[in-house]
Structure 1
Amino acid sequence: MPKVSIILPTFNVEKYIKKALDSCINQSLKDIEIIVVDDLGSDNSIKIAKEEALKDKRIKIIHNEKNLGTFASRNIGVLNSNSPYIMFLDPDDTLALNACELALKEIKEANLLRFGFAKIDEMGGGIEENLPNYKDYEELKNKMMYYKGISWNVCFCLIQKDFYLKNLQKIDLFLKLTMAEDLLAFAFLINPSVKTANFIGYFYNTNENSIMKRKTKEQSQKNLQNCKKILTQIQNSNLDQFIIKYFSFHLEKEILKYFYNLNKISYLKYKFLKKKINLYMFYLKIKRKISKGFLCNL
Structure 2
Amino acid sequence: MLKISIIIPLFNTEKFIARALESCIKQTYSNIEIIVVDDKSEDKSIEIVKQFCQTDERIHLIENDSNLGPFVCRNKGAIYANRGGGQILMFLDSDDTLEKNACEEVALSFQEEIDLCIFQFKRQEGERQYQENSWFNRDLSLNLDEFEKLWIDNGGSNLINSLCNKAFRTEIFIQNFEENLKNIQERLLMAEDAIVSVSYLSYVKKVRLLNQSLYIYYVNENSATQEKTNLSKIALYLQNLLFAINFLKHLPQIPLKSHNVFIGIAVCNLKIHYLDLQKSINKGFFCRLGLKIKRKRVKILKSRLLKSPF
User: Normalising by the residue count of structure 1, what TM-score does the alignment of the two structures yield?
Assistant: 0.87
| Counterpart residue identity of residue 116, structure 2 | L
The range that moved more, 25-34 or 274-283, is 274-283
Aligned residue among 197, 216, 227 for 1:214: 227
> Is 1:115–1:132's contact at 8 Å kept on the other side of the alignment?
no
- In structure 1, C-alpha distance between the alignment counterparts of 2:12 and 2:261, rounded to whole Å: 37
Paired residue for 1:117? 121
Aligned counterparts of 1:128 and 1:85: Cα–Cα separation in 2? 25
Q: State how far apart, in whole Å, the 2-side matches of 1:176 and 1:257 are.
A: 21
In the TM superposition, 1:248-263 aligns within 5 A as 248-263=267-282
Cα distance, 1:212–1:115 mapped onto 2, change above 3 Å: farther
Taking the aligned partners of 1:18 and 1:220, their CA distance within structure 2 comes to 29
Deviation of 1:239 after TM superposition, in Å, equals 3.6
Mapped to 1, the partners of 2:32 and 2:135 lie a distance apart of 25
Residue 232 (1) aligns with residue 246 (2): yes
Equivalent of 2:187 in 158, 162, 176: 176
Partner of 1:156: 165
Q: Residue by residue, what CA displacement relative to the aligned partner does 1:98-139 show, whole Å, maximum 9, x if unpaired? A: 111111011220111111211111x23332255661743334
| Residues 229-256 of structure 1: CA deviation (Å, up to 9, x unaligned) | 2122212220442233122211222222
2:136 to 121, 133, 138: 133
Give RMSD over aligned pairs: 2.6
Indicate conservation of the 8 Å contact 1:7/1:74, yes or no. Answer: yes
Q: How does 1:1-298 map to 2 (within 5 A)?
A: 3-81=3-81, 82=84, 83-108=86-111, 109-121=113-125, 123-130=126-133, 133=136, 135=140, 136=142, 137-143=144-150, 145=152, 148-149=156-157, 150-173=159-182, 175-190=186-201, 191-210=204-223, 214-215=227-228, 216-240=230-254, 241-263=260-282, 266-280=287-301, 287=307
Q: 1:230 & 1:39 partners in 2: Cα distance?
A: 22
- Distance, in Å, in 2 between the alignment partners of 1:124 and 1:59 is 30
Question: CA shift at 1:210, angstroms?
Answer: 4.5
Matched-pair contact (CA < 8 Å) for 1:131–1:198: no
| Residue aligning to 2:257 | none
- Paired residues, number: 288
- DSSP-derived class of the 1:169 partner: helix
For 2:60, what is the secondary structure of its paired residue? strand
Structure 1 unmatched ranges of 5 or more: 292-298
TM-score by length of 2: 0.83
Contact 2:122-2:129 at 8 Å conserved across structures: no
* CA distance, structure 2, for counterparts of residue 201 and residue 125 of structure 1: 17
- Give the stretch that moved more between structures: 165-174 or 194-203: 165-174
Q: What do the CA deviations read for 1:132-163 (whole angstroms, capped 9, x no partner)?
A: 61743334322555652143211112211001
SS of corresponding position for 1:29: coil
More deviation, 125-134/269-278: 125-134
Q: 1:162 to 1:210 in 2, by over 3 A?
A: farther
- Identity score, percent: 31
Aligned to 1:294: none
1:18-55 CA-partner distances (Å, limit 9, x unpaired): 01000111111112111110001211111111111111
Relative to structure 2, which stretch is displaced further, 258-267 or 235-244? Answer: 258-267
Bigger drift between 197-206 and 55-64 goes to: 197-206
Offset at residue 276 of structure 1 (A): 2.9
What is the letter of the counterpart of residue 177 of structure 1?
Answer: L
Q: Could you tell me how far apart the structure 1 residues matched to 2:301 and 2:146 are?
A: 21
Distance 1:145-1:126 versus aligned 2 partners, 3 A rule? closer
The Cα offsets for residues 271-298 of structure 1, whole Å up to 9 and x where unpaired, read as 222333444555667x47xx7xxxxxxx
Report the secondary structure of 2:14's partner residue.
coil
- Taking the aligned partners of 2:176 and 2:165, their CA distance within structure 1 comes to 18
